[in-house]
Structure formats: structure tokens, C-alpha cells
Structure 1
Amino acid sequence: MSKTLVVSGWLPWWVLGVCGSYLLPSPAILPWIYAFFILLVFAFFTRWLVFLFGCALCAGIIFALWRTDNLLQNQWPLTDKASVQNITLTVSDIPQYEQQRSRFVAQVKLPDGRQQQWLLTDYSKQQWTAGSRWQIKAKVRAIIGEANKVGFNREAWALANHISAQATVVKGQRKALPAVSGWKEKLTSWRIWCGGRWEAQSQIYPQGVALIKALTVGEQSALPAEAWQVFRPLGLNHLVSISGLHVGMLAMLAAWLCSKCLQYLPFQISQPWILTRGAAVITAIVYSALAGFAVPTQRSMLMIIILALTWRRGYLRAFQIWWLTIALVLLFDPLAVLSVGFWLSFLLVAVLMWAGEGVNHTIKLFQLMQAQWAAGLASVVLVAFCFGSVPVMSPLVNALAIPWFTLVLVPIALLSMIVPLDFLRTFAAYLTEQTMQILNTIAKYAPEYYPAHAPLAMWVLAMLSVLIMLLPRGWHLRPLCLLILLLMLSYQPPRPAQGEALVRVWDVGQGLAVNISTAGHELLFDTGTAYAAQSVLLPNLRAAGIRQLDTLVLSHNDADHDGGVVLIKKQLQPKKIIAGQISAYQFPVHPCTAGANWQWDNVWFEFLNQPVATNKKGKNDYSCVLRVVSADKAVLITGDLGKKGEQTLLKAYGDKLFSQILVLGHHGSRYSSDAAFIQTVAPQYAVASAGFANPYGHPHIQVQALLAQENISLLRTDRMGGIQSILSERNLSWQPLQVYKPYWQRKPMKQTSRL
């Protein structure tokens, strides 16, 4: 059987089977086993390759389902509350120390003998040395993230990194145990020692040393959050780590240096290519070890090893090596498919090879320009799809930054670690500090474009258009392809009709964020926490085509309601900000006073909150209360208003509070949702915006019982994810923002309409 048939024929279909399996709605493996044997029988009697390729596809699906099921069986079970566990753990990576907490990944041994990998958070910020062992008490829960249309998928991230649970360390409940001295622990200790050699320069060049640690030992937590805000609009996030690009470029540099050194030897080497490729492989392995063998470096290291073993006398072509590398990565870990980095790295490499076909005999400068043009054009679609933004200056900045980082900064930083000379480390820190200063300046003027999230078919068509535009003979179709690309970038989702209001309750975890859209206006009620605003809310607002807010309402000054106000204010520039506690903000805001009302596109908005006694110490009763009416439907949002505040509303408005939709006060706390208030509002639906297995028990069991007694449907973002409905003359109905659920994702969970 020829190598061409295996690599070019079977492997792509096997890879497609593995990747496609994660789109399946069911993990049932038996039908695919039946299909495999049926196709195998047809292939045996007909000798048609199409049946063999079908067998390879089924084999890939079967393999991925089997491997993923083994990991899913080891995931922490779904429970409404975090459980307290006594565990023994071994810190397996460099901890990340943040302003209010420290986070680290650890190998955990449970009392029943099971071994799992957990992500732990310690709010007391104790020291957790890599390789150290501890007996601790921790509050553990399943990793269930937010489920909206787009945004960070925590479940996919956890599975791709083989993390089974997340836990919070109980303060004062740890006991030191003898440390482990395996090769992994020794490797991590070596990385920490390498990073610690820069402490003398960190006082003078703090940003430079932080960048060096990220580039040399993969310690990305050394960089402050402000630095990542600089890299994002420049499209440099992929450079600020030990990425596959760094590994590949450094290996090429090592091979080139080795070849030059061989030229000056007093004797001739019969097969110098063995030494040059050996130097490239050793460099890739050592540099990947510095990163702790992170997933992106594993991919590049594997590709370099395969390239060194096979690229001799045309044994395998470039795309055959590409398919073989993907197959080996997926054979080792099929869950890499759930990592965004997997797709970005391999697809960008494929685009570069695609664009390089037919230009092997052109001058080097043209090849470099062609590669930069291909990477920039492809990244427009890939980055926009994955992250919802297009860094406009990214192609130009990357054209300068890629050679500077990979050929100057990284080699000098590594050399300064090998050669024990202080002035060399100081020089490296100085260069990186100046680099950060220049990037800070450029980022202030770097524009970003945020396209709305188009239908999947339009994204696929746009990527095909990019591939056609990169073909040497694709000139005649390039105008049409460019038009398709521009249409994808300028796509706008349909808006509500006149007199209708689209209500979206975003899943922001333990917090609140409600967006109300009319035919021509946008209102956002609360922002959730700062983290939720950054990772969930802002990407989803932009994906919905919202580039500016007409009004931002901040119900009251609490981190889970207005924690993201700085980000939202900066990025979406609301024309008007209304708040329940105006003294809590350093920028101009308007108070939400009872009786204030306005009309947008035949939709009525009014504030109902009543004055609060000046000696009131609690924040919750200052919450803005907003009622929105469209046609004969209404939604009532009360922030964190407590029972006393609800009783005050009853006295002031009585039956005028009637609304078909009620966003439950205080996330469904028992200190809100007064029985008389619920009976007067008489909603058809009650929405509880809360985090999964939150420590407060929201929505409270008493509130659930009251709603069930009143025959009110309870909708929960902690189980259903983000939801939306339209206020119009039509009957009310709710749809999840995340329409499709693959089998490996546990949220959205099944939710009955009645309790």
C-alpha cells in the first residue's frame, strides 16, 4: 500500500472524523461501529476507495467518541451546590498570582483513590510551589461556564486541558506533605529557576522582564492585564507566549547556524543534513520543555520532528506532512480539537502552504510578502470568527513584530539565560522594555473592527473566498471573492420591527446583564462582573451588531451588576448612563427617578423605583426598577431590590406592576420575591440570572416553591444559558441564545417549563 494513499487518502478522512465527532449531538458509538463494518464489507467486494475513505471517517469518529467518553466519565458530577472535600494535591504547574487570588493546576488524589486534574483558586494567596504536595480542604464543583451565542467556552477549555473540576481552597485548612520529585516536577522547578534569574532586572524593566518570562518559560501570568489590552488591537497575542511560531522559527535558526558552522570545519561531513536537522529537533524539544510542553509547542515540536524524518528526497509533500502531523496530534489527544489554538495554528499553516504553491522559484522577498499577505488575509476571517474582532493594523504590525520577536528578542533572551552574564540579561530586559513602550504607543492609535456574527454558511463561504484569492490563477474571481469577504464583515443581524422589543438575558454567571433592543435603539441594564463583561458580555453585544449603546442602566453599585462599567463605557460609548447610586461613579450619570419615561420606536420605557431613606446603609434598595412595554407585553427588571423595596412598589403602583416577564430580584434570593409582589406582578415567566452552583443557593428553594405554587415558569441562566424573547403582539416564547448543543457540553441542561 503506497504512502501516498495512506497520507493523502485515509488520514484526511480519519482526521475529519475525529474533528467532526465533536459536532455530534449524541455520544452513541454503536451506530458508527455498524457503519464502519458495513462500509468495510462494501470496500472488500467492490474495491472502491470511497468505501475505504468512509471506513476511515467512521474510525475517526469511533476513536474520538471513545477517548472523550473516558474523560467525561472522570468529570466532576453536576450538583447544585459546591461540596467540601478533603483531598491530597500536587501542584503541577507554575501558579498564577493575581491581585485578589492565586490560581494553579494540580493533580488531585480523592479519598476513594481516583486521580483527577483540578483548577484551584486560593483567595488567601498562599504560596504554592510547583511539585509541592498538600492535604487541604476545598469547595469543589463541576466546571460549567456561561452559554451564549459566542464568547469563551469554559467547558471546551477544561476538556481540552483535561481539567475535571474547579475548586476553592478553604482558608487555614492545609497541611504540607513530602514533595514529589518526578520528571514533571523537576521540569517545572527548572522553569521557575530560569524565570527567577530575571529578578534583578525586574525593578528597572518591569514590563520587559514580564515579557521575557512569557517568551522564555511560558509564564504568561507575569504580564499584567494592561499588557494584553495592548496586544489585542495589534493582533500580537499569538506572539506573547512560547507559541508554535517561536518554536518553528528558533528551530530554523538553529539549523541555519549549524549549517554555517559545518562550513568552517577542517573536514567534510558526508551527510550534513543529519546534523542540521538534529539541531533543529533538539532546539524544538528544549524550547518546548521551557514552556512545560504546552499544547501549541507540542504541535510545532511534532511537526518539526516529522519534517526532519520525512523531508528527504521528496518522501512526503508539504500537505502530506501537515495531515500526518494533525493525525499524530489527534491520536495523542483528540480533545485538542476543542482548543481555539489548534485551529488557528494548523489552518494558518495550511493557508501559508496553499499560498506558497507555485512560488518556490521566485525571489525570497516576494515569497515573504506572499506569506505575510496570506497570513493577514486568512487571519481576518479566522480571528473574526474566533474572537469577534479584526485588528486593522495586524498585518503591518506582524510583518515587523514576527521577525523582531522570533529572530531577535527570543534568541537574545534565551542566550542570556545560558550565558551567566548580568550585562547580557540587562541588555535583553532593556530591549524588551523598549519594545513594550513602542507597542504601548502604537496601540493607542490602533483601530479595531468588530463584525457581527454572521451565519455559519457565510463564514465558510468567506474562508473559501480567501483560499481562491490566494491562488496564483485566481485573479478573475478575486473581485467576487473580495465582495463576499466584505459582505461577511459588514453583515448585520435583523432588528426588531417597529413597536417590538427584543429582550436578551445574557448568561454572565453570578450577575445580571439584560439587553433590550428596539428597531433603532439599544439599552443595557447592568453589566455583570468585570470578568463577565470582558469574556462574555462585550463579545456577545458586538456579535449582535451592537457598536454603541443609547442608554446604559446601572441598577446599583455592586460588583456583579456594575463591575464591567468601565469596559462597557469605553468600548460601547453609551450616550446616556443612568444609575441608582450616582455618587458611586467618577463620571457623569443621571439618577433613575420614579416617573421618568421615554419612548423608542413605539416601545415604552419607565422607571418605577421609589425614594430610599437617606439613612439606609444597604445598596440593594437603591436599585433601579425598569419596566418596558411593547404592544400588550411588559418586562419588569428590579436589580437587587429586596422585599421592603418590593412592598414600597406595591403601595405606589399596585396592579400597574403587572408584567408577563419578571427578572427576579437579587438573582432569586429569598430576601427578594415577596409573595404579594409576585402575585401582583403575576408574570407568566420569571427569570433568575445566577451562576451555576453559586455559593448563595440562588435561585432559593423558597422562591422556586412560590413560583411553582403560582404556576409561573422559572427560567434559569445557570441551567439554560442566555435566553431571549420578543415583546410583540405574538404569543411570548423563549429561545436559548446557544441554539446547538454538542454531546460533550453539559450546559444548557434540560429544563422543564414548570417546576
Structure 2
Amino acid sequence: MYVDPVLAVGLAMTCGALLRHHAVEVLALTAAVACLVCVHVTKGKALLLMSLVVLGLGGGWLRAHRAIVAHEDVLARVEEDAPGLQRCDGTARVVGSPARVGGSMRWLGEVTDASCGERAIRTPFHASFYDTDASGEPLARGDRVAFVAQLGPPERLTNFDTSDPLPAEVRRGAVRSGGLLDRRLLARGRGPPAWIDRARAAVRVRIDATFPADTAPMARAMVLGENDLTPDDGAAFRGSGLSHLLAVSGMHLVLVVLGLTRILRALFIRIEPLSARIDAGRLADAVGIVVSFVYADFAGSSGSALRAAWMTSVLLLARLLVRRGDGARALGFSIVGMAWLDPLVAYDLSFVLSVLATAGLFVFRPAMADVFAGALRLPGKLAQPLAATLGATVACAPVTSLLSTTLPLGGVLANLLAVPVGEIVSLPLCLVHALLAPLPMAERGCAWVASLALATVRGIARLFARIGWLSIDVPPATSAQLAVLAFAFLAWVFLQRSSRRLVVVAACLALCLALEIPARREGAPSGKLRITFLDVGQGDAALIDLPNGEAMMIDGGGIVGSPVDVGARVIAPTLRARRREALALVVLSHPHPDHFGGLPTGLDGIAVGALWDTGQGEREGTGGAYAALLRTARAHGTSVQRPESLCGVHAIGGVTVEVLAPCPEASADRGPNDNSFVLRIGYGSRHILFTGDAEREEEGDLLRLPAGALRADVLKVGHHGSRTSTSRTFVAAIRPQWAVISAGARNRFGHPAGVTLATLHDAGVRTYRTDRDGAIVVETDGRSLSVMSAE
């Protein structure tokens, strides 16, 4: 058995970064692979190989750790000078290629001179700027800009059941982000990065000018790597397994670069003075190496495109040096190059999927092609692409389970239909279109034909996304399951000529299934009450696991004015990670978007037994997402209940839920905050009080309840800790030991207010905040009670 050392080192460097969060899994996988290698490789080679792997792991961890520490240091120093969200002005140099995100242009700027409020920021830092002014002159890397912007710290949304957002934040490099209020170009940048960005801007303008509005986002995605598809189109491509067609994937880059080298080789051969002195093929390969990285940069520098640029360049270099190209070694060099440039590249899903897809092509495609061509007697032109698609799909499936609720089994057939249209027709036409601006008629004709091809691809995606039986529901793989599946893949490779190959792989698959049992038990614990106050930014959301195994939710978050959908980013992934397909109850404390905004997408596909709503929003004619939420609930047979039928004590899932307000019904002369549902949940001798956004007026009503009616161990602080809630008298009546404040790091209201924090401190209450502590879990067996945070 041969193990390529470069590939081994590359994988080790990449996995080293994962030691921060998954040390047990990574080390266990390394030990298992070491045993596999020692059995099948001579002692000397095994020792050398494992030494390289250990060095790779250690180096990967150290470089990732240093990157995170350096980022956190800059973040802390900038926060000291300019805490929270503030209006800032200064100068910045564009260091990140501008890209369209929704209706804005986002670019990364290096700020060396800025002041926020009345204080100067002493530490140079990077910030992500969002520019909504379409009339402004396009920016490019190297440009210097005077700016006025509303800047604040990143909204991390740190939760237990979702991936840690810190590595992605470090990779972006920004310690501040926000919308531009004004900008003025001071100086133009020069050099290749600036030229590439100006070319990107010109192509973007021409796509918008010549493509129909419904296919222009698809063309920009395919050429520029910008993902601003409509929600329906995005869901269709994900659900059909065709997302890679609208991303500048490794396959796109390989097709473009190898196609160009063939054209150049044919062209150089025909130039006699050149071909007489220089090998035309080697010259074309040398140009192809440069083009690989230029094209990857032009197309948005995604992890998959850059990895493919490295791998293609290594293979072209081997051909240039008249060496035999080795696919495994070229893959290894591409991983080493990416890991060296980006210590946290393991957290780039496009890179990970690209590596897995390439590995799937190497490992599974030959055997599958033999089966399709031999046993099934399919023609080679069908057997080869079918084997390639299926091989890549199988290799990527464990990771794609983290991204989607379903595994599109029809994706193999969808790819067979869509890839020829997308790769052979749409991609070349979109690229040629970028060169036709001087020829308006040809440009429009090319755009028209390309649009037809893109519309065909979209039609295939929509068709296969709608066919439900072509997809199966899958839970997201846990880190332990991913480690076991990784070992199964490596065992399949290492044990090619061993009779134990199928036994080892089958045992790994059985273990992976067995690991689903503890995952489900952890997601739905029995005999205890677990309340998770989710980090949803400036909003409220709490998932409550009940002692009988059921669950309920109170509110669903929603960041007003932000493109971040906390339902899709926090609530849905949390429910999937806990294997929740149903909720006994959802409580909407009051009809404000920072409490219901995440419910529509967060609860998509979740069966809800009952929805408690104060009724004030419907009575006052509130529309939009709130009205849609109620319509959807009723359409699915969910009982929508009001305070007049709820006030009092309810036994739900082994706990008592007391509805204390608004009773007997929501008051018509109060705003929604002071009509919030106030709930007291009890289990054994422990109680938790939820106060929604209740302010002083509703608190006054609650203080008139009998003595002890408000007593609770944990207080969910009202209205995100505003100065208009949580009076000293109110806290004294509750006598909590712990308090939880749900607020966003970027909120413009100054929540939580200093006076509220002082009130809790003076009462001896230990306070947790989602803006600093991330998600907070309160757990009790009815006697003891513990509180912990995600940060």
C-alpha cells in the first residue's frame, strides 16, 4: 500500500485546525489511521509517515490558534475604543474584492485612521462595509476611500448546536462591519488585484444590462461567484443537488483552464517563429498556471476554486517539466497550499466539499464505472458521468447532511441532465459574453442564448426539488459520526487488496448508526427540564426540552433590518441537531419582529401542536410575516390560542406552565410590550420566569399578584434589559439567583442598560448575556439547577 506523504501532511495540517473544537474526534481518527498504516506499511515508512502527520497536526493547530488569538486581540482593543454600534468616520484602503450581497456591495477595508463618536480608534483594523448606493463608482482593491459608516462588532450568534462562528469571522478578517452612510474616493489602486476587480465590476454591469432579471443572478453566480439568488431559486438548487452548477467550483476552473491551454497550444503551434524556438505545449501550460490563479481570483476566490487552481497548477507544472502527473499528490499539494495560506481553511465548506468530491472521483468513480458499463451494460458516455456524479455525491454526503434537511437522491439524475447544459453550454456562453461588450449585438445575442440555457438548468432544479420521493430526510452527522465515516473512507482506500475491507467498512457504518442513539437521547433528554436561551442577536428565542421528551419554544428571534435569517441560521439547525421534528407548543410572547421573525423559516417542516398568541397583532391588523405565520399555522392544523382561554396553570410535558399575563386578556390601550405573555415554568421545586418584553406597566400588574406568585430561580429579563423594565421592586419580588438577558452585540438601543445591570448586581443576581456569553442553558432535575454558556 502506498500513502502519498504530501497528501497526508496536507490533510493533517487541515485537521490540525479542528483540534480547537473536535480534539477527541481528530485524535481518535489519527490513532485509528495510524494502526491501519502500521499494519500495512513497513515500520520505517510508517514511523516517517506518522511523524509527518503529527507535525502537520501540531503545525495546523498552532497556526490556527495564533490567527484566532491575533484576531481576538485586535477585536478587544477596538471594542475598548469604540464599544458597540457607533457612527464612525475615517479612511480605509480596499483590501477585499467587492462583491454583491443582496442589494449591497460588500468590501473589506483596512482602516488606519478612524474615530467613532468622539473617540479616535488607536488600533488599525479591518471592517466589512456594505454599500447600498448603486450610483457610486465601483471600488477595487488598493483604492483609498474616505467613509462615514455605522460600524459595530460582528454578530456571532454563538450556539451549542451550531458551528462556532469565530473561525469564519477570523477568516473574513473583519472586527467591525456595517452600512456605509457616505464614501468618497481619494485615490485609485494599481496593480493586478485592482485590474481584476475593475474587470469584475465591468462584467457585473454588462450582465445586469443584457441578461433578463430572473437569470442575471445565475449568470453572476456562475461567472463572478456571487450568490444573490432569490430564496426560491436557492432552495431549488439546494434541494436538487445542483448548487455546484451556480458556484465557481473546481470543475468550472478545470474546464476553463484546460480548455484555454488547448486553445493556446493550437495557437502557438501555428505561430512558426514561436513554435520553432519553444515547445508550444509547455508554453501553453506555463500560461495555464498563471491563468488558474487569475481566474480563481476573478471568480471570487472561493475555497473550491482556489483549491482547484493549486491542483491544476501542480498538474500543469508536472507536464511543463515533462513529469508524470500524480492526481493524489496534486490534491495533496493543493491542500497544503490552501492550509498554508489560510490556517482555518478547514472551516470553509466549499473547500471541504471540493476536496471530498475530488477524492470521491479518485476512489469511487473507476469501480462504479466498471459496474455501470459491465454489470448494467450502460454505454460509456453514460456510465462515466454517472459514476463521476455518484462518486462525488457519496463522498460529500456526510458533510452535505450538515447543510440540508434532505439528501437529494435524484441529484444524480438531475446532474446527468443539467451538467451538460450548465458546463458545456451556459458556462462557455457566460464567459464569452464577458468579452463581447465592444460588440453590442453579439453581446445581447450571447446573453439571450445563455439565459435560455440557465433557465433550462433552473427548470431541471425546480423539477427535481419538487419530487419529494427523490429525497430522503437525514439528520446532521455528529462530529463522532463524521470521524467514523472518515475512517471508513480511508479504510476503503487502504484495504483495496484485503479481504477485510468490506468487514471494516461495514463495521464503521454500523458504528455510525449506533452513534445515532446517544445523539437522539442528548437531543431529547428524559427526566429533566432543559431551557436553551438561543443567541439570536437582538431578539428573544428559547427552546425548552421537557422532562417527558417533548419540546416547546418561546419566541423565535429576528434581527430587524438585517439580511441574517436567524430562523435558517440558528433555530432550524438547532432543531435538526436535536433531532426535533415536532414541538408541543410555540409561544409568541408578543407580535414584534424580533420575537417572531425567525419562526417561519425556523419551524419549516416542524409539526407544532399549539401556538399561543396574545391576539393583539391580529386585532390591530399587523400583516407581513406575522400574518403569514398565523395563516401557515392554521393551514397546518395548529391550534392558535389566546390569553382569555390560557390564563392559569397548564400541565405540559411534565412541567407546569403558569400564564400570569396578560390576564384576563391583552389590554387594548397598551402597546405590545406591556401585553407580553409572562410565563412561570416549574419543575419540582425549581421555577423559571419568562417576561417577554414586559415594561414597568405590566410589571406593576404582576406585582399585585399574591406573594410568592413571581418567585423564580431564573429570570428571563424583560425587553432585552432596557431601562424601562426590571425595576428593583420587581426583582425583589422574584428573588432570582440567575438572570438571562437576550440582546444583540450590534443593537442600537444600548441594551442592556446600565441601570438594569446595576439593579441585578445589587440584588446579588448572577447575570448572563447572549451578546457576550452566547447561548445559555438552564438545566434542572427539579432539585438541583445549573447554568452554563456557549462562550
Shared topology, TM-score over 0.5? yes
Number of the residue aligned with 2:91: 88
Q: Deviations over 1:479-532 (max 9, x none)?
A: 545544555668523466666322111111111111112224221111101611
The 5-angstrom pairing of residues 671-690 of structure 1 reads 671-690=724-743
Given that 1:668 and 1:703 are in contact with CA atoms closer than 8 Å, whether structure 2 keeps it comes out as: yes
Instruction: List alignment gaps of at least 5 residues for structure 2.
Output: 23-44, 115-120, 374-379, 560-564, 635-639
Number of the residue aligned with 1:637: 690
Given that 1:381 and 1:463 are in contact with CA atoms closer than 8 Å, whether structure 2 keeps it comes out as: no
Matched letter for residue 717 of structure 1: T
Match status 1:147 vs 2:158: yes
Given that 2:676 and 2:691 are in contact with CA atoms closer than 8 Å, whether structure 1 keeps it comes out as: yes
Q: Deviations over 1:649-675 (max 9, x none)?
A: 221344212121111111111111122
Q: Distance in 1 between matches of 2:399 and 2:524?
A: 29
1:446 is displaced (CA, Å) by: 4.2
Matched letter for residue 523 of structure 1: M
2:415 match: secondary structure: helix
Q: Deviations over 1:320-340 (max 9, x none)?
A: 222122112222332323322
Q: Distance in 2 between matches of 1:730 and 1:266?
A: 89
1:356 is displaced (CA, Å) by: 4.8
Number of the residue aligned with 1:300: 308
Given that 2:356 and 2:392 are in contact with CA atoms closer than 8 Å, whether structure 1 keeps it comes out as: no
1:141 is displaced (CA, Å) by: 3.2
1:347 match: secondary structure: helix
Match status 1:564 vs 2:604: no
Structure 1 residues 402 and 140: CA distance shift in structure 2, 3 A: same
Given that 2:720 and 2:741 are in contact with CA atoms closer than 8 Å, whether structure 1 keeps it comes out as: yes
Q: Distance in 1 between matches of 2:404 and 2:134?
A: 31
Q: Distance in 2 between matches of 1:297 and 1:630?
A: 53
Structure 1 residues 113 and 402: CA distance shift in structure 2, 3 A: farther
Structure 1 residues 115 and 699: CA distance shift in structure 2, 3 A: closer
Q: Distance in 1 between matches of 2:208 and 2:496?
A: 51
1:536 is displaced (CA, Å) by: 1.3
Q: Distance in 2 between matches of 1:332 and 1:325?
A: 11
1:699 match: secondary structure: coil
Q: Distance in 1 between matches of 2:308 and 2:759?
A: 57
Q: Distance in 1 between matches of 2:597 and 2:93?
A: 34
1:570 is displaced (CA, Å) by: 3.1
Q: Distance in 2 between matches of 1:467 and 1:446?
A: 33
Structure 1 residues 522 and 472: CA distance shift in structure 2, 3 A: same
Match status 1:715 vs 2:723: no
1:415 match: secondary structure: helix
Number of the residue aligned with 1:506: 534
Number of the residue aligned with 1:382: 399
Q: Distance in 1 between matches of 2:670 and 2:511?
A: 57
Number of the residue aligned with 1:177: 186
Given that 1:499 and 1:603 are in contact with CA atoms closer than 8 Å, whether structure 2 keeps it comes out as: no
Q: Distance in 1 between matches of 2:64 and 2:165?
A: 20
Given that 2:17 and 2:64 are in contact with CA atoms closer than 8 Å, whether structure 1 keeps it comes out as: yes
Matched letter for residue 569 of structure 2: S
Q: Deviations over 1:25-64 (max 9, x none)?
A: 89xxxxxxxxxxxxxxxxxxx9974657655654555555
Q: Distance in 2 between matches of 1:284 and 1:404?
A: 23
Q: Distance in 1 between matches of 2:415 and 2:284?
A: 28
Number of the residue aligned with 1:37: none
1:436 is displaced (CA, Å) by: 2.0
Number of the residue aligned with 2:388: 371
Q: Distance in 1 between matches of 2:408 and 2:332?
A: 30
Matched letter for residue 226 of structure 2: E
Given that 2:14 and 2:345 are in contact with CA atoms closer than 8 Å, whether structure 1 keeps it comes out as: no
Q: Deviations over 1:289-348 (max 9, x none)?
A: 431444432221121111111257764532222212211222233232332222222233
Matched letter for residue 86 of structure 1: D
1:181 is displaced (CA, Å) by: 4.3
1:150 is displaced (CA, Å) by: 3.6
Matched letter for residue 346 of structure 1: V
Matched letter for residue 239 of structure 2: P
Tell me which of the two structures has the higher relative contact order, counting C-alpha pairs closer than 8 angstroms and 6 or more residues apart.
Answer: 1
Matched letter for residue 147 of structure 1: T
1:692 match: secondary structure: coil
- Aligned mate of 2:448, from 426, 444, 447: 426
Matched letter for residue 349 of structure 1: T
Given that 1:452 and 1:493 are in contact with CA atoms closer than 8 Å, whether structure 2 keeps it comes out as: no
- Aligned mate of 1:239, from 239, 245, 252: 245
- Aligned mate of 1:625, from 678, 690, 704: 678
1:383 is displaced (CA, Å) by: 1.4
1:526 match: secondary structure: strand
Q: Distance in 2 between matches of 1:285 and 1:191?
A: 15
Q: Distance in 2 between matches of 1:450 and 1:197?
A: 41
Given that 1:84 and 1:138 are in contact with CA atoms closer than 8 Å, whether structure 2 keeps it comes out as: yes
Q: Deviations over 1:667-721 (max 9, x none)?
A: 1111111222211121221111111253222222211111122111111112221
The 5-angstrom pairing of residues 538-549 of structure 1 reads 538-549=572-583
Q: Distance in 1 between matches of 2:512 and 2:488?
A: 7
Q: Which moved more, 1:263-272 or 1:307-316?
A: 263-272
Number of the residue aligned with 2:410: 393
The 5-angstrom pairing of residues 638-677 of structure 1 reads 638-677=691-730
Structure 1 residues 379 and 399: CA distance shift in structure 2, 3 A: farther
- Aligned mate of 1:412, from 418, 429, 438: 429
Structure 1 residues 559 and 295: CA distance shift in structure 2, 3 A: same
The 5-angstrom pairing of residues 75-114 of structure 1 reads 75=75, 77=77, 78-79=79-80, 80-91=83-94, 92-96=96-100, 98=102, 103-111=106-114
1:357 is displaced (CA, Å) by: 6.7
Q: Distance in 2 between matches of 1:440 and 1:52?
A: 47
Q: Deviations over 1:68-103 (max 9, x none)?
A: 65555544634552354321134553353646x664
Given that 1:95 and 1:105 are in contact with CA atoms closer than 8 Å, whether structure 2 keeps it comes out as: no
Structure 1 residues 572 and 191: CA distance shift in structure 2, 3 A: same
- Percent identical residues: 22
Q: Distance in 2 between matches of 1:124 and 1:241?
A: 26
Q: Deviations over 1:262-290 (max 9, x none)?
A: 99999999966536645754653453243
Number of the residue aligned with 2:482: 459
Q: Distance in 2 between matches of 1:549 and 1:226?
A: 26
Given that 1:500 and 1:603 are in contact with CA atoms closer than 8 Å, whether structure 2 keeps it comes out as: no
Given that 2:539 and 2:744 are in contact with CA atoms closer than 8 Å, whether structure 1 keeps it comes out as: yes
2:709 match: secondary structure: helix
Number of the residue aligned with 1:23: 19
The 5-angstrom pairing of residues 119-134 of structure 1 reads 119-121=128-130, 127=136, 129-131=138-140, 133-134=144-145
- Aligned mate of 1:443, from 462, 465, 475: 465
Q: Which moved more, 1:505-514 or 1:56-65?
A: 56-65
Instruction: List alignment gaps of at least 5 residues for structure 1.
Output: 27-45, 739-747, 749-755
Matched letter for residue 609 of structure 1: A
Number of the residue aligned with 2:29: none
1:428 is displaced (CA, Å) by: 0.8
Matched letter for residue 582 of structure 2: Q
Number of the residue aligned with 1:287: 295
1:206 match: secondary structure: coil
Q: Deviations over 1:601-620 (max 9, x none)?
A: 33222322125675535221
Given that 2:422 and 2:453 are in contact with CA atoms closer than 8 Å, whether structure 1 keeps it comes out as: no
Query: TM-score when scaled to structure 1?
Result: 0.83
1:564 is displaced (CA, Å) by: 1.8
Match status 1:219 vs 2:219: no
- Aligned mate of 1:697, from 741, 750, 770: 750
Query: TM-score when scaled to structure 2?
Result: 0.80
Q: Distance in 2 between matches of 1:140 and 1:86?
A: 9
Q: Distance in 1 between matches of 2:751 and 2:328?
A: 53
